[in-house]
Structure 1
Amino acid sequence: MSLLFTIFALVFVTQLIAWIGQSVLLELVYALYLRIFHSATAARQRKLKSDILTLKAELLRTSAQDQFAKWAKLRRSVDKGLADLEKLNGEISSRKNGFSLRFKSVIWVLTTGLQFVVGWWYRKSAVFYLPPGWLGPFGWWLSLPFAPAGSVSVGVWQMACKRVLKVGERVVKELSAARVAEAEPTETAKEKEPPVESAS
């Protein structure tokens, strides 16, 4: 029975990642990674942005004609700050690209790769046995490719779990869409009602 739940858990985690979205997970994990391992860089970036905004606000308040020296100095400071920020953003971006590649590799290994390994390792094992004659002459295909006759193989169980989760996802989406559709007509009907004219 543990094989049955292990395979279901692997398929469920894979589908959960697909539902949430790998890019959303990447952004969340990368933000956490930055806070833990590169907090000084993130703080420096925030400080640079804040300083640039302050300098830009001061630059806008300074007249280029009346206070040219001050305006030119502020302009050079803003340009230098922008150049530093661009360089820092480039470093953070290249670091994020490397992190993204490692993150996607780990996600693939923990989901798809692990499913392949489990499927190959237990290829001759039965996940569970069906009652004799339950599906008649068609029961043999559930044990494909290498499981004992009369059983459900790992590959078939993985496909069944994935199919059930996908059907469940579709049902939930349809139910939520139906709820939204039920709520909308009452609101739009009120908006479309013609104004009631009072009889005089």
Structure 2
Amino acid sequence: MSLILAIFILVLIAEVISWIGKSVLADFFFAIYLRVFHSSTSRKQHNLKADILAKKAELLKTSAQDQFAKWAKLRRSVDKGLADLEALNSQLAATRSYFTVQFNALLWLLTTGLGFAIGAYYRQAAVFYLPPGWFGPLEPLLALPWAPKGAVSVTVWQASCRRAIRMGGHIIRGLCVPVEGRTEPAVKQDANRSSSPAARGEKVDEVKKDI
């Protein structure tokens, strides 16, 4: 893969992650992680919640005065279930915290860290060369920091890709928002017009004419 395409794909992945949100991705992959590596714990938590809810419902139907022995037994069972559930939730919370730290570190390495590494390794390389004389005095700036004169450096190309992708995202959002803004008021306006007294009067007149 060429350097120009590799940098573009890397920047695109980083921007997509930024658009989606790290927390959303962490929640999604943590659910998969639980199913694969902690399926028994997750299943135990689900069954324990269902059992507690069932016993609580039965406890509410049991009279503490008329059926005290049964009520006390159910109460102890519910309290024990809640204690077990709290311990299980604490265990899963610790697992989630560890996973989130590792996941965020992995995302940083695959996006920002890898971008820094490519920028440092290819700091003197030319991503591509510009036609001579096209950009005049701007050519040295496009080669910053250490690329050959007349070339576009990795740093400048990364910044250009990031800028272009963000502008593309803004344009797409700008095209989508006005469509929603135009359709909703039109529907509301038609609904208000049809429900207005004048509109109802016109309909009555039309019915009378038909009769």
Deviation at residue 133 of structure 1 after TM alignment: 0.4
> Secondary structure of 1:175's partner?
helix
1:101 aligns with 2:86: no
**Residue by residue, what CA displacement relative to the aligned partner does 1:104-143 show, whole Å, maximum 9, x if unpaired?**
1111011000000000000000000000001122222100
Larger Cα-atom Rg: 2
Q: Using the alignment, how far apart are the partners of 1:184 and 1:139 within structure 2? A: 49
Deviation at residue 192 of structure 1 after TM alignment: 2.0
Q: Using the alignment, how far apart are the partners of 2:50 and 2:138 within structure 1? A: 69
Corresponding residue for 2:117? 117
1:180 aligns with 2:190: no
Q: Using the alignment, how far apart are the partners of 1:109 and 1:34 within structure 2? A: 23
Q: Using the alignment, how far apart are the partners of 1:70 and 1:44 within structure 2? A: 25
Amino acid across the alignment from 2:6: T
Q: Using the alignment, how far apart are the partners of 1:55 and 1:187 within structure 2? A: 50
Q: Using the alignment, how far apart are the partners of 1:83 and 1:176 within structure 2? A: 50
Corresponding residue for 2:7? 7
Q: Which runs of 5+ in 1 are unaligned?
A: none
Q: Which runs of 5+ in 2 are unaligned?
A: none
Paired-residue identity, %? 51
Scaled by the length of structure 2, the TM-score of the pair is: 0.92
**Residue by residue, what CA displacement relative to the aligned partner does 1:40-94 show, whole Å, maximum 9, x if unpaired?**
1011101101100111111111122221111111111111101100010001001
Q: Using the alignment, how far apart are the partners of 2:138 and 2:103 within structure 1? A: 42
> Secondary structure of 2:30's partner?
helix
Report matched runs for 1:139-150 at 5 Å: 139-150=139-150
Q: Using the alignment, how far apart are the partners of 1:39 and 1:61 within structure 2? A: 34
**Residue by residue, what CA displacement relative to the aligned partner does 1:18-45 show, whole Å, maximum 9, x if unpaired?**
0111001000111111111111101110
Q: CA RMSD in A?
A: 1.2
Dislocated runs of 4+, deviation >6 Å: none
1:55 aligns with 2:62: no
Corresponding residue for 1:87? 87
Corresponding residue for 1:191? 191
Scaled by the length of structure 1, the TM-score of the pair is: 0.97
